[in-house]
Amino acid sequence: MPFRFIHTADLHLDSPLASLALRNADLGDLVRGATRKALERIVDLAIAQEVDAVLIAGDLYDGSQTSMATALFLMGQMRRLEAAGIRAFIIRGNHDAQSQITRELTFPPNVHVFDGRGKPVKAGMLASGREVHVHGVSFAQPHAPASLLPTFRAPVPDAVNIGLLHTSLAGASRHDPYAPVGIADLSAHGFDYWALGHIHQRRVHLERPWIVMPGNPQGRDINEGGPKGVTLATVAEDGTITCEEHRVAVAVFERLPVDLSGVDDWRGMLDRAEAALGEARGAAGVHLVARVTLTGATPLAWHLRRDEDLLTAELQNLAASLGECWIEAVELAVSAPATAGADAGPVAELSRLMHEDVVPNHAYREELRETLADLLRQLPREARGLLAPDEAAEEALLSELALHGCDAVLARLGGESEEA
């Protein structure tokens, strides 16, 4: 018989989603409960596929706010695996290390939580008599600035060796450096499969040996978009490994561009948006949470900017009519059709002056910077970091605010001019 296992990571059970909950309570409830539902689906898949083990490469929890209710839910899912004769192998990631409850839980006998010593555990045996060993290293602290690879022991001879590691690899955007290590170094260590965690986008880095980052099984915001799932791996009698992805997410986040080029009336805009939402909803196969960005040159540009509240409400109604479809936000990147020469008019000339002379002006930007600084001082420290974590982000935010303000003013003037 082959040895089969599911590899997952970064479930972040009960991750808080305050911003979604504030904007839309139903959407907040959906996504907040989705992390639990994703784990249930992983266990369902493990039982249906009759796998030998489930490997969890860190960040079951979402930091220090983990509640006992979260922990008890996890225990219930582990007991479901135990009842099916399926073992679970877990390492603690950086978020798990922040949770006191992580250290207090007593798991059922089928669950092995690795410590920081890297000692391998026999997980099974192929019909050929070849053993399968799982190696793992947990960290007790939320920061791991150095590589953990030296902590792992050498491969068990004449066995299939699987390594569990929570790592940022050589670095990734939106992820702090954590246990950095190179792909070449992992490959040279001699394991047959590296079950990684920490980075929330799926990627198969190598197939000989397998080095797999499964991504998180459930996205939690628009920056964790696209289909989400787990890896199902099969170790054949000769030791060769094959992998396949299985989707388990309850909701999929997507950035959805809608090109309005050539559309000149509100009904046409809604038709085009509905078609795009319908196509995306069908492709998702589950709840779709979309950030819609309207693009293109259209005479509706001024109207859309002037009536953003109405626009958002109409698109939300469209999404609701499709079923299991939600609008997370609406962004405008539309422009008015270009008009040249004498026909340009005073509004077009004002637009040119604002974009070419006012927005880049140093004095204007400094005044805008002072206004932004005053606003940031009134926000909680955590919110300040989200809006402007560094100088480059602050400059980008200033530019975005300036351009958005110009477009909003011009939309009002353009609309009044046309209606007059």
Same domain, 159 and 12: yes
14 and 161, same domain (yes or no): yes
Token pair 């020469």 is found at 341
Residues 319, 184 share a domain:
no
With a CB cutoff of 8 Å and minimum separation 6, the contacts of 246 are: 6, 45, 229, 230, 231, 232
Same domain assignment for residues 191 and 317: no
Measured CA to CA, the distance from residue 217 to residue 231 in angstroms comes to: 10
Domain that holds residue 298: 251-337
Beta strand 325-335 pairing with 287-297: parallel
The residue out of 316, 337, 358 marking a domain boundary is: 337
Q: What is residue 376's predicted lDDT score, i.e. its pLDDT?
A: 77
**Among 228, 247, 266, residue at a domain's last position:** 247
Tell me which DSSP letter residue 354 carries.
I
Q: Kindly state the tokens that stand for 404.
A: 């958005």
Examine the domain organization and report whether 273 and 202 are in the same domain.
no
HSE of 233 in the Cβ direction (CA atoms, 13 Å)? 27
* Residue 242 identity (one-letter amino acid): T
Q: Give the pLDDT of residue 178.
A: 79
227 and 360 belong to one structural domain: no
- Give the pLDDT score at 315: 97
Number of domains in the chain: 3
50 and 113 inside one domain = yes
Where among 337, 369, 390 does a domain terminate? Answer: 337
Helices and strands in the chain: count of H runs, count of E runs: 12, 15
Assess whether 383 and 269 both reside in one domain. no
Residues 263/272, Cβ–Cβ less than 8 Å: yes
Same domain, 289 and 388: no
Strands 203-207 and 210-213, bridge-based pairing: antiparallel
What CATH number does the domain containing 70 carry? 3.60.21.10
The confidence score (pLDDT) of residue 304 equals: 94
Q: What is the pLDDT of residue 341?
A: 47
Whether residues 15 and 97 share a domain: the answer is: yes
Rg over alpha carbons for the chain, rounded to the nearest Å, is 26
Task: Write the burial class of residue 7 (CB in 10 Å: 0-12 exposed, 13-18 middle, 19+ buried).
Answer: buried
**Total residues belonging to the chain:** 420
Rounded CA gap, 198 and 34, in Å? 19
User: Rounded to an integer, what distance in angstroms lies between the CA atom of residue 186 and that of residue 309?
Assistant: 51
Looking at the structure, do residues 288 and 357 belong to the same domain, yes or no? Answer: no
Residues of the chain with pLDDT under 50: 98, 173, 340-342, 419-420
Residue 408 sits in the same domain as residue 315: no
